[in-house]
Amino acid sequence: MPSGQSAGALPVVAVVGATGAVGVELIRCLEQRAFPLARLRLLASARSAGKTLSFRGEALPVEELTESSFRGVDIALFSAGSGISKRFAPLAVAQGTVVVDNSSAFRRDPAVPLVVPEINPQTIKAHRGIIANPNCSTIISITPLWPVHRYNPVRRMIVATYQAASGAGAAAMEELRESTRAYLEGRDYQPTVLPHPYAFNLFSHNSKIDVENGYNEEEMKVVHETHKIFGDGDIRIAATCVRVPVLRAHSIAINFECERPISPTEVRNILSGAPGVQLVDDPERNYFPMPKDASGGDPILVGRIRRDISDPSGRSIALFVAGDQLLKGAALNAVQIAELL
């Protein structure tokens, strides 16, 4: 129970970054899942203050985020960037608020639970006021692997992501739309949000590259966060993260090696009833997970399940997944954490 909330009382909930791409989805998730709350407060920067957003048939005003915004707030869902989280989350906790943070600010803090509800919900109990939402690529990659890992421990993962514009925010989504329109009309378009042309193009994720190991920050998030969420720092992981011209659903190719031999049939059987995932695996029609099908949906789609024929030991499986970056990759996961609170 959030501190300061009396037993049986409905919580007051705040969304920080309410006008952003993830913030809008947070509000929508709270409404669609009939989240029990006494009041919803919408917080954003001064330039967004005064706007209104719809919630349960009402037009709610957006308030400016200030140091005193969290008085009387039981749960705050943050999605406004790591700088805002680092500044305001401790202030919220000091005012009795439990923070579910969608940024990278606290994910590697050993005192902060990093939670995917389908995997490690029990860790929420150890929170000290802040709970971290994992990176979208991590959530979408490992949620389908967890039930396999429990059955036959995963010892190695090779991951290649195909990441949508939504991962870089609403401005990047608009840049994809506008650059595509310009491309089709034969007009020049200079990108301002992302470093390379986006329409009919793809490029390596534009996060900072570690000069020592050659991996970028997005790729290392998959490594570190998987270790923390699975509670297993011995899993060998390599990731390649790429931005592709898709609006809002990430797709990921995963090759994983288990401790013991495992068959595609075993993996399908494990995943057929697993929470948070949906099998889309139809070789006869050549129909497998696609971002168009994952967009707007809660489950992570899983398919193309096959034996890795380069591994004669029979311990490796290749598969393909697609999941909505704004939903399970961000807003939905945060709301599920709040439901557990």
Return the active site residues.
Answer: 136, 250
CA 6 from centre of chain: 31
Partner residues linked to 77 by β-bridges: 15, 100
Rounded distance, CA 279 to CA 299, Å?
9
Rounded distance, CA 190 to CA 156, Å?
40
Outline where DSSP puts E strands in 222-325.
236-243, 249-258, 277-279, 300-307, 316-324
Q: What type of residue is 53?
A: L
Rounded distance, CA 99 to CA 291, Å?
30
Helix (H, G, I), strand (E, B) or coil at 278: strand
- 34 phi/psi in degrees, rounded to 5: 50, 50
Q: Which two tokens stand for residue 210?
A: 């570690």
Cβ count near 59 (within 10 Å): 9
CB-based contacts of 331-334 (< 8 A; 24+ apart in sequence): 331/22, 331/25, 331/26, 331/28, 331/29, 331/79, 331/102, 332/25, 332/29, 332/298, 333/115, 333/116, 333/117, 333/133, 333/134, 333/139, 334/26, 334/29, 334/77, 334/79, 334/100, 334/102, 334/133
